[in-house]
């Protein structure tokens, strides 16, 4: 602080600039916001618009070239049976993954918010942050190891004499497959594992805000613990769950790497987009496909905002 007197002497330009900003606080705000807004506006929103425009073009079936005429026929192709299958499959997977993440994350978040204190709380927090920020590919890779036919799960199953259970699961129609790493069960497990931390943190943030005396009051008024949970804790935790589900849902919706590495050959939206824009060169259809998650997430974000989920992000 004592150095300020020395710095005060620079005067001149500095004074002049700060006088201008002091007189017009809005100008400074504008100058601060302009560069990031330009960046997001030009690079991100500009690219999004470029993409959306392409979805109104179409691919010429004979030449394989993109026809630059306005048409809705590309969107029409989205309604073909195979493409509807891809969309339904992806949305169903996203919903199931979100549900599973919420179920597993809730006890962790609840414990961390209500019971963990001091170093235990820090430990819990770090234990969630580490897997959240550690490499996505490394996590997916770890599950390739776990789910492999010769891997640890098969080993554990045979050690416990439960090979029949594993084989029974894999024999199931639709979700089964030749081995866990080539089945929907495998894809589902990896998605749940990779996104769980995104669910824990917002739920914990929401639960932290539940005052302890609210729970005591509920007990004093004669509520059973389960009643307190469903009528007091759960409604207050809901914005956190919704906030977490934004991530789990959106991330599953657009992922194309996990189903490519662990899963069967049926495509999800992300994979469809990737192959369409790459080897197939059908950018219009790829662009139309990306509109699906955009619309779903737009609706989802609107709902989430109404439920107050953004306050705990």
- The nearest distance, CB 96 to other proteins, in angstroms, is 17
How far apart, in whole angstroms, are the C-alpha atoms of residue 115 and residue 136? Answer: 30
Q: Which residue's CB is nearer to other proteins, number 184 or number 228?
A: 228
Please, which of residues 83-102 interact with other proteins by CB under 8 A?
none
Among 137, 162, 172, 174, the residue binding other proteins under the rule CB under 8 A is 137
- The nearest distance, CB 62 to other proteins, in angstroms, is 22
Instruction: Verify binding: residue 169, other proteins, rule CB under 8 A.
Output: no
Q: Which residue's CB is nearer to other proteins, number 141 or number 234?
A: 141
Instruction: Verify binding: residue 140, other proteins, rule CB under 8 A.
Output: yes
Among 59, 86, 98, 143, the residue binding other proteins under the rule CB under 8 A is 143
Nearest by Cα to 296 from 276, 278, 269: 269
Q: Distance from CA of residue 193 to its chain's centroid? A: 12
Instruction: Say if residues 98 and 252 touch (Cβ distance below 8 Å).
Output: yes
Instruction: Verify binding: residue 104, other proteins, rule CB under 8 A.
Output: yes
Nearest by Cα to 237 from 204, 195, 197: 204
How far apart, in whole angstroms, are the C-alpha atoms of residue 267 and residue 286? Answer: 13
Q: Which residue's CB is nearer to other proteins, number 174 or number 217?
A: 217
How far apart, in whole angstroms, are the C-alpha atoms of residue 131 and residue 312? Answer: 20
- The nearest distance, CB 81 to other proteins, in angstroms, is 23
Instruction: Verify binding: residue 150, other proteins, rule CB under 8 A.
Output: yes
Instruction: Verify binding: residue 67, other proteins, rule CB under 8 A.
Output: no
Please, which of residues 180-239 interact with other proteins by CB under 8 A?
193, 196-197, 205, 208-209, 211-212, 215-216
SS3 assignment, position 288: helix
Q: How many residues bind other proteins (CB under 8 A)?
A: 107
Instruction: Say if residues 147 and 153 touch (Cβ distance below 8 Å).
Output: yes
How far apart, in whole angstroms, are the C-alpha atoms of residue 87 and residue 59? Answer: 21
Q: Which residue's CB is nearer to other proteins, number 43 or number 84?
A: 43
Backbone angles phi, psi at 174, to 5 degrees: 65, -65
- The nearest distance, CB 173 to other proteins, in angstroms, is 27
Q: Other CB atoms closer than 10 Å to residue 310's CB: what's the count?
A: 14
């Amino acid at each position: 602080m004592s150095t300020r007197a020395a710095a005060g002497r620079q005067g001149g330009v500095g004074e002049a600039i700060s006088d201008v900003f002091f007189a017009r606080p809005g100008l400074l705000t504008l100058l601060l916001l302009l560069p990031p807004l330009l960046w997001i506006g030009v690079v991100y929103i500009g690219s999004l618009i470029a993409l959306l425009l392409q979805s109104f073009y179409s691919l010429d079936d004979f030449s394989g070239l993109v026809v630059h005429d306005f048409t809705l026929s590309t969107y029409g192709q989205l309604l073909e049976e195979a493409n509807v299958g891809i969309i339904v499959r992806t949305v169903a997977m996203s919903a199931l993954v979100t549900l599973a993440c919420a179920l597993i994350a809730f006890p962790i978040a609840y414990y961390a918010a209500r019971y963990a204190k001091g170093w235990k709380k820090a430990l819990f927090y770090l234990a969630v942050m580490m897997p959240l920020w550690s490499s996505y590919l490394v996590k997916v890779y770890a599950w390739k190891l776990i789910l492999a036919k010769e891997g640890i799960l098969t080993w554990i199953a045979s050690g416990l004499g439960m090979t029949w259970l594993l084989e029974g699961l894999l024999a199931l129609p639709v979700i089964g497959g030749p081995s866990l790493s080539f089945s929907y069960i495998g894809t589902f497990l990896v998605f749940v594992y990779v996104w769980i931390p995104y669910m824990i943190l917002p739920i914990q943030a929401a639960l932290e805000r539940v005052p302890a005396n609210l729970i005591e009051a509920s007990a004093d008024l004669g509520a059973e613990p389960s009643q307190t949970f469903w009528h007091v804790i759960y409604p207050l935790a809901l914005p956190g769950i919704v906030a977490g589900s934004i991530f789990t849902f959106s991330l599953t919706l657009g992922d194309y790497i996990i189903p490519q590495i662990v899963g069967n050959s049926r495509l999800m939206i992300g994979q469809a987009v990737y192959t369409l824009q790459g080897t197939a060169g059908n950018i219009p259809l790829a662009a139309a496909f990306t509109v699906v998650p955009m619309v779903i997430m737009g609706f989802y974000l609107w709902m989430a905002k109404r439920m107050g989920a953004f306050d705990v992000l």
